[in-house]
Chains A and B, each alone.
Chain A
């Protein structure tokens, strides 16, 4: 029996738990929903079972829309997370319960429960109570109980979660056999990647309520489309190179773009994934015809012996213009780390720490292109307000994604606004292929928050004028609320601005640190902008403080230079508020980046105050980067 989910959506309070999930599960398939805890996978399962009503969307089982059908009439079998066995009933009574409520005669019930207990390997334990069974046995009772009345589909919520690692393996095999034999369509929810690989015909990866990708385990492992799936499933190295004449340029190295790889625009960034087991190391340089693409030389940082395989981390000199995504680079270190998994019988059996080895890859995979994702809030799309204009400009230059978002308060405004915003979308479609437009009805903060949660946006772009935002008293709380609630960088714009070519990143030395540099750097790399990293020393600072801050700026610049950004540093001295303002006011800079430490941060300077003053008085675009402090 097939299961079809269409645009399933569920919201708990202000949180979108399940976000437009559509899924098509074939008859007899064993489908695994894989996701971290809290990703919304159990909520999806409960909506299929009918224990929870979706806010919108539909559930079809065997071609019949059951969205509004009572749970008891859906005829699904469910294995609950902690089994929910009936403690006061014996095992066979548990198994027979579904048949009893269906009014089956006792003799038939007995036969069926005997049959099922045999199938799950519990023959002879029928007269025990659940509390007299081991965890593994209880789980099998739960499976037998769910299957007893021949349900159309079987739903399993973390069925192995409460069990010992040791018996999980056996029970998985058991379950798979039964499922194959009965050919019952099954959805299993788990956070365990190994479990998903072993059991699934297909896997769907869920993150923050969104179904990111679906596919057979091997396809998801070797050919993921997105970074989320690439990093959630299996370990791996992801480097960001550039498209260069049907090749990917990783520094000096040129890798041919495989035929089936997604198309990248010329000169655009390309994310290359190579799994640790496809990385090859050698004491000798690779021969030209070895079929191995050499990356360069790396120093062994770590080596972990693991029986059949050994895991190594090597450190390579940064490849020019390459941004390592994973493993995440160390702050201020231009070196790139590479993870390797090799069999221990190989040539490098006796590798030592700090030894320098040649590093190459045997195979690699290219992820779908992803630019920076801008979310623009616009009240008057037709007038092309400054924020909208800048976002469109940045979207085009960075080959990124732009989502135009508008909110109306009254129903009758909806159609009009929609047509305006659709028009903008059509006009820009050619220059920004990844443009989307949406209008919602409701209140500003609520709708904006929901929208931000429902997509993986990188930067929110806002006009300073809307809702009288020029007045500090109104803007500050809204901005601060947004920053705290979403942790999403916000770009505020007041005047139509020139093309971005020189950015000033204002940073406080040391803590809270670095996310301002990273976000700014990413924008600078995509816009090919020059960057000045700037900090202010109080006049009373001593020599040590001066050196420390200087060093911090240098390290920031080194990280940026590693990405191919033209970067310099500037260290001012005086009252931070004044100095920052004076520097930001200089005509050379056309975009200011500032960290916005969250309220609980130990505030060296009153950054929000400074930031808000700059937003108030400066007519340049300002990018506020919220920073979490440990």
Chain B
């Protein structure tokens, strides 16, 4: 049995494994290790000082705020979009399903630029909103909007296949048994698509924590006001304040990575049972 696996490629098994591991380490592990090593080499006081500075704390708080709102909006809208795209038949459905991924394909800088054009002071919506006293670009709403844009497809994309597979039949059964739409949704649909939602939210979370390009263009990078964690890291780096940048980098990467790994293990375990 094992043999049929190993002989199916014209080069020896171990040379392939070695090559792959070498590539993986060189490309991924060594740079990560380099960052950790640098951090370990920096004086602890300097790190703590950097992380505890008002600028850093404000940046992290802003990122948390933006991420929270992004996740809230995109979870609700992602599930709603999946529901509409799976259950309803309407004209243009295929088109929407095809182009819902557009934010993944667009450069973050261009995405930010588009939002500036639309919501900037001279934009179609920006002028109107500004008249009402709402400032979008160079402030919190704009940053949130940009983050929502770049993470828009995650939840819908993960939920759609799960919904197709499990949700529909259960919904029909619940309907025949007399359940209302809300009852069906909360008691039957949501538990069935739960893992799809969680996975999508996690990916969106990681991305919104780390988003840089779109936010940079939209925010104006005003220290203590519109500077998110990634912007802060960049700023520190360009200001040659390396230890601060390294520490913040590691914090944010570690958070995102922990979430990703946690979810991976949970979903794996869930799928096995």
- The answer to whether A51 touches B192, judged by C-beta atoms less than 8 angstroms apart, is no
- The answer to whether A78 touches B192, judged by C-beta atoms less than 8 angstroms apart, is no
- The answer to whether A88 touches B192, judged by C-beta atoms less than 8 angstroms apart, is yes
List the B side residues contacting A50 at CB < 8 Å. 176
Asked if A82 CB lies within 8 Å of chain B CBs, one says yes
List the B side residues contacting A149 at CB < 8 Å. 177-178
List the A side residues contacting B183 at CB < 8 Å. 101
List the B side residues contacting A80 at CB < 8 Å. 169, 172-173
Asked if A236 CB lies within 8 Å of chain B CBs, one says no
- The answer to whether B172 touches A51, judged by C-beta atoms less than 8 angstroms apart, is yes
Given contacts A82-B169, A87-B166, contact A97 B192 (CB under 8 A): no
- The answer to whether A145 touches B177, judged by C-beta atoms less than 8 angstroms apart, is yes
Select which of A51, A82, A89, A102 is within 8 A of B178 by beta carbon. A102
Nearest A residue (CB) for B171: A84
Asked if A76 CB lies within 8 Å of chain B CBs, one says yes
Asked if B174 CB lies within 8 Å of chain A CBs, one says yes
- The answer to whether A88 touches B191, judged by C-beta atoms less than 8 angstroms apart, is yes
- The answer to whether B178 touches A72, judged by C-beta atoms less than 8 angstroms apart, is yes
List the A side residues contacting B187 at CB < 8 Å. 97, 100
Given contacts A87-B166, A87-B192, contact A101 B180 (CB under 8 A): yes
Asked if B33 CB lies within 8 Å of chain A CBs, one says no
List the B side residues contacting A78 at CB < 8 Å. 173, 176
- The answer to whether A72 touches B170, judged by C-beta atoms less than 8 angstroms apart, is no
Residues B154-190 near A (CB distance < 8 A): 166, 169-170, 172-180, 183, 187-188
List the A side residues contacting B179 at CB < 8 Å. 72, 97, 101
- The answer to whether A51 touches B177, judged by C-beta atoms less than 8 angstroms apart, is no
- The answer to whether A84 touches B177, judged by C-beta atoms less than 8 angstroms apart, is no
Nearest B residue (CB) for A82: B169
Asked if A437 CB lies within 8 Å of chain B CBs, one says no
Smallest CB separation, A145 vs chain B (Å): 7
Asked if A73 CB lies within 8 Å of chain B CBs, one says yes
Bound-complex Cα distance A441 to B169 (A)? 38
- The answer to whether B170 touches A86, judged by C-beta atoms less than 8 angstroms apart, is yes
Smallest CB separation, B90 vs chain A (Å): 17
Nearest B residue (CB) for A98: B177
List the A side residues contacting B172 at CB < 8 Å. 51, 80, 84
Best-buried of A76, A82, A84 by chain B (most CB within 10 Å)? A84
Residues B178-226 near A (CB distance < 8 A): 178-180, 183, 187-188, 191-192, 194
Select which of B169, B178, B194 is within 8 A of A73 by beta carbon. B178
- The answer to whether B192 touches A49, judged by C-beta atoms less than 8 angstroms apart, is no
Encoded as 1 (CB less than 8 Å from any A CB) or 0, chain B from 137 to 168 comes to 00000000000000000000000000000100
Select which of B176, B188, B194 is within 8 A of A72 by beta carbon. B176
Select which of B169, B176, B180, B191 is within 8 A of A49 by beta carbon. B176
Asked if A77 CB lies within 8 Å of chain B CBs, one says yes
- The answer to whether B176 touches A76, judged by C-beta atoms less than 8 angstroms apart, is yes
Bound-complex Cα distance A606 to B174 (A)? 58
Bound-complex Cα distance A51 to B191 (A)? 22
Bound-complex Cα distance A76 to B170 (A)? 16
Given contacts A86-B188, A87-B166, A88-B192, contact A72 B173 (CB under 8 A): no
Bound-complex Cα distance A378 to B94 (A)? 42
Nearest B residue (CB) for A88: B191
Encoded as 1 (CB less than 8 Å from any B CB) or 0, chain A from 86 to 116 comes to 1111000000011011100000000000000
Residues B76-116 near A (CB distance < 8 A): none
- The answer to whether A98 touches B170, judged by C-beta atoms less than 8 angstroms apart, is no
Smallest CB separation, A364 vs chain B (Å): 46
List the A side residues contacting B175 at CB < 8 Å. 51, 71-72
Smallest CB separation, B273 vs chain A (Å): 8
Bound-complex Cα distance A89 to B173 (A)? 13
List the B side residues contacting A74 at CB < 8 Å. 176
Smallest CB separation, B173 vs chain A (Å): 4
Bound-complex Cα distance A77 to B176 (A)? 7
- The answer to whether B192 touches A101, judged by C-beta atoms less than 8 angstroms apart, is no
List the A side residues contacting B194 at CB < 8 Å. 88
Residues A129-172 near B (CB distance < 8 A): 145-146, 149
Bound-complex Cα distance A49 to B176 (A)? 7
Asked if A75 CB lies within 8 Å of chain B CBs, one says yes
Nearest A residue (CB) for B177: A98
Encoded as 1 (CB less than 8 Å from any B CB) or 0, chain A from 384 to 409 comes to 00000000000000000000000000
Select which of A72, A97, A145 is within 8 A of B180 by beta carbon. A72
Bound-complex Cα distance A594 to B188 (A)? 60
List the A side residues contacting B176 at CB < 8 Å. 49-51, 71-72, 74, 76-78
List the A side residues contacting B177 at CB < 8 Å. 72, 77, 97-98, 101, 145-146, 149
Given contacts A84-B173, A89-B191, 8 further A-B contacts (CB under 8 A): A72-B179, A77-B176, A78-B176, A84-B172, A86-B170, A98-B178, A100-B187, A101-B179
Give me the 10 closest cross-chain CB pairs, A-B, nearest first.
A98-B177, A88-B191, A84-B173, A84-B169, A101-B179, A78-B176, A72-B178, A71-B175, A101-B178, A101-B183
Chain A to chain B contacts (Cβ below 8 Å), 15 pairs: A51-B172, A51-B175, A51-B176, A77-B177, A80-B172, A85-B173, A86-B173, A86-B174, A86-B188, A87-B192, A88-B191, A97-B187, A101-B180, A146-B177, A149-B177
Give residues in B with beta carbon < 8 Å to A. Answer: 166, 169-170, 172-180, 183, 187-188, 191-192, 194
